Amino acid sequence: MRRLMSGNEALARGAFEAGVTVGAGYPGTPSTEILENLARYKPDVYCEWSPNEKVAFEVAAGASLAGARSIVTMKHVGLNVAADPLMTLSYISVEGGFVACVADDPGMHSSQNEQDTRNYARFAKIPLFEPSDSQEARDFLKLAIQVSEEFKTPVILRTTTRVSHSRSLVEIGERILSEKKIGLVKNPPRFVPIPVWGRPMRRRVEDRLIRLKAFSESSPANRLEWRDKSLGIITSSIAYQYAREVWPKASVLKLGMSYPFPDSMIREFAAGVSNLLIVEELDDFIEQHVRALGLACRGRDVVPGIMELSVDRLLAARARYEGRPVEEPKPFAFSDRLPPRPPVLCPGCPHRGIFYSLAKREVVVTGDIGCYSLGAFPPLDRMDSILCMGGGISMAHGLEKAGEPCPVVGIVGDSTFFHSGITGLLNISYNRGSSTIIVLDNRTTAMTGHQDHPGTGRTLMGEATKAVSIEDIGRACGIERVCVVNPYNLDQTSQVISDEITADEPSLIVSRAPCPLREKKRVGVSRKILPEKCKGCKLCLNLGCPAIEGGEDGPRINETLCAGCGLCEQVCPAGAVISGGRA
Amino acid sequence: MSEMGNVPKQTDQSKETKSIVLVGVGGQGILLASEILAQTAMLEGYDVKTNEVHGMAQRGGSVMAQIRYGKEVHSPLVARNEAHILGALEKVEALRYADYLRPDGLAAVSTQAIMPVTVSSGGAQYPQDAEELLKQAFPRLVYIDAAKIAGDLGDIRAANIVLLGAISQGLDLAMESWEKAIALCVKEKFLEINRKAFTAGRCHS
């Protein structure tokens, strides 16, 4: 039976069919839907959102040591967080099949960098699979579990935004369960990498890599497609699909198991074609290896390595390859008249009250990753740096210790606080900092589509659980000034921020209001502007609310979009904003 | 179906891969329209690929979904100048992605204008002559007030399906498959309104 599935749905299907019984992860675009879809197979599969990728990785690793087949899911930057367990799980090896599904984001659609996860496979000396569509996503996940169990190695399955979020047809199959009995078979020389046992592990990793290389040569995931032999293309992942459109007649070596490299296959292919071209997205991972084999090829000189590929960009690459002039697309005459439409904080977003209150002050704001990253855009314009998850808290402390003359405010979301904010807060308390930390607690992981986290009181399996209190954690970390504000109350929020940034000890402000998108209801009654009272000062436009439309006749409120948060009513000095009636 | 301009309708090229680009603003329901279209093509026996944007782009930003179907489809992305149909739920978004449409392609554009924050907060201007620009950009243009039609039917949120109905006339997919696909993709309680919305768009003239 064929079904239309996104790459992420297909990975979940593959995991289900492969007999996976434990899945863990942390949400991150474009990986999030893998685990959400796998959780739909409950109770056959146990799934959880862990507080961060490192924890998720370790949960799945533990399950594997018990003999269960497991997967862990994350976006590319999540693997940086989980790099510690990754590097050593490679040594201690796995028991039940273990696959880390990692989704890269070429083009940085929803990410702060463009790193290429393939490098991690080589770094950790473990196999790498790269599907190019949903069918392969399902097939390769199953194959990855097999390879993992056979070679007792963790495996990375790498997708990209376009593989994860494209839909295509998938032939599905039955679930096949492992016959392994669950239970850790004690074996310290295998599982405990203290030096005396770790050194032999180190050698076994290299032996395993040699055996994996032999397997890769005959892996069904690597495929020679002989067509016209004047040009041969080596490619992987979504780049394969684009290359097939742009060079339909060329021969192709498609790498699905792209590490360790199938050297004999690469040599055979290179010998069979007159010219060799490497078409890959992001780093020149394949090209460097092909060159190291002593094979002449082209690649990065014509195929760009920055930002994602597309048929358009490969058409230009083909022109460069063939020495033809590259046709630049002609923009329409009206293109420069179109107003940009960047993503914005939604109408009624509780983060707006905090950013608006901060905008009135001389402070440095260090933030991180989430919807609140959007606070960096004008007119709110109140985020001065973003480094990584939880980074705003620790960086605020660093700025302060360096002698930053302005008060420093670190911003973190609720899910991000649990992810990697707690240790930073602990550090501020321990090392006698005085930064003000604001947790934007909208009771969900909003940006990735409203996933639960340790503070929400609900698990991915849909069960009620303890809702961990951010204030309690703050106090346990040693922060004595802990307070909660309602971000829809601008006076209160403003006053609390004033008090806390001037205090000479660290403070934790929890800005608490649920995400209206998650609640699926308005915050309050929608507002409208009385034109006769409006003085045209446009202060309401400083809120950056999509529901307030500016115009030559003065601002007006789009009632369909208005979520009724009432911030504009509080901001208006003329009393021109009133409740409009829609509840 | 009324078309501004006098460019002849495209000849039937059923073996060729058909490419459709749907654009709008995050939250307008582009993804549901894309899913229904893809399901319909699948029910008709075609190979189908779609692509859509998640995450950051959905927060009120500009949103695009792409659908390609045919005998064998490789790329899920539509190339510039390739799309047979551009469906837009917002005027400026139609113009923004105009270069995806092939010169003889059909543009179905909802009359809706949604002000970006860049306009409200003062810096940028929303083109007052957007309709005129649409006529210049698209020789084959269907201009439809999808939001009003959906509102009259009882739910303005079904504007996406009205637009889908409008573009369905430019595609060689059977009504029966459209109906099945809608039933597959839409929750039971919204089925009736979406069926009506689709038919209204399909019959728009």
B156-174 confidence digits (pLDDT tens): 999 999 999 999 999 999 9
Mean of all residue pLDDT scores within chain A:
96
Number of A to B CB contacts under 8 A, please give it: 169
Query: How sure is the predictor about B123, in pLDDT bands with cuts at 50, 70 and 90?
Result: confident
CATH architecture of the domain formed by A351-519: 3-Layer(aba) Sandwich (3.40)
A166 at interface of B, judged by CB pairs closer than 8 A: yes
Q: Are A128 and A143 in contact (CB under 8 A)?
A: no
Boundaries of every domain in chain B: 18-115+138-202
Place of tokens 């992001």: A282
Please give the CATH number for the structural domain made up of A2-218: 3.40.50.970
Q: What is the mean pLDDT of chain B?
A: 89
A341·B127 Cβ contact <8 A? no
Fold classification of B18-115+138-202 (topology level): Pyruvate-ferredoxin Oxidoreductase; domain 3 (3.40.920)
Q: Where are the domains of chain A?
A: 2-218, 223-321, 351-519, 527-579
B17 alpha-carbon distance from chain centroid? 17
> What are A390-446's pLDDT values in tens digits?
999 999 999 999 999 999 999 999 999 999 999 999 999 999 999 999 999 999 999
CATH number for region A527-579: 3.30.70.20
A126 CA: distance to closest CA in chain B (Å): 29
DSSP string, A295-356: ---B-TTTS--SS---HHHHHHHHHHHTTPPP-PPPPPTTGGGSPP----PPTT-THHHHHH
In the CATH scheme, what is the code of domain A223-321?
Answer: 3.40.50.920
In chain B, which residues have their Cβ closer than 8 Å to the Cβ of A169? 42, 47-48
Q: Check: CB of residue A141 under 8 Å from CB of residue A18.
A: yes
Mean pLDDT of B92-119: 93
pLDDT of A136-147, one tens digit each?
Answer: 999 999 999 999
pLDDT for A353-383, tens place per residue? 999 999 889 999 999 999 988 899 888 889 9
Q: In the prediction, which pLDDT does B16 show?
A: 86
Q: Which of A4, A310, A542 sits opposite B42 (nearest CB)?
A: A4
Query: Do residues A356 and A492 lie in contact, with contact meaning Cβ atoms separated by under 8 Å?
Result: no
Q: How far is CA A342 from the centre of its chain?
A: 19
Strand A507-512 to A436-441 pairing: parallel
Tokens found for residue A235: 């490619």
CB-CB: which of A167, A345, A373 is closest to B38? A167
The whole-angstrom distance between B101's CA and the closest CA on chain A is 12
Per-residue pLDDT, averaged over A244-266, amounts to 98
Q: Is A536 on the interface with B (CB under 8 A)?
A: no
B56/A109 Cβ within 8 A: yes
Residue B202 has pLDDT above 90, yes or no: yes
Rounded average pLDDT over A4-22: 98
Mean pLDDT of all residues in B102-121: 90
| Cα–Cα dist A402/A424, whole Å | 16
Per-residue model confidence as pLDDT tens digits over A289-338:
999 999 999 999 999 999 999 999 999 999 999 999 998 877 788 888 99
pLDDT at A549: 85
Nearest by CB: A346 against B54, B59, B126:
B59
Do domains A351-519 and A527-579 share one topology? The answer is: no
Please state, for a pLDDT cut of 90, what percent of chain B lies above it. 77
pLDDT at B9: 38
Classify residue A72 as left (phi > 0), alpha (psi -120 to 50) or beta.
beta
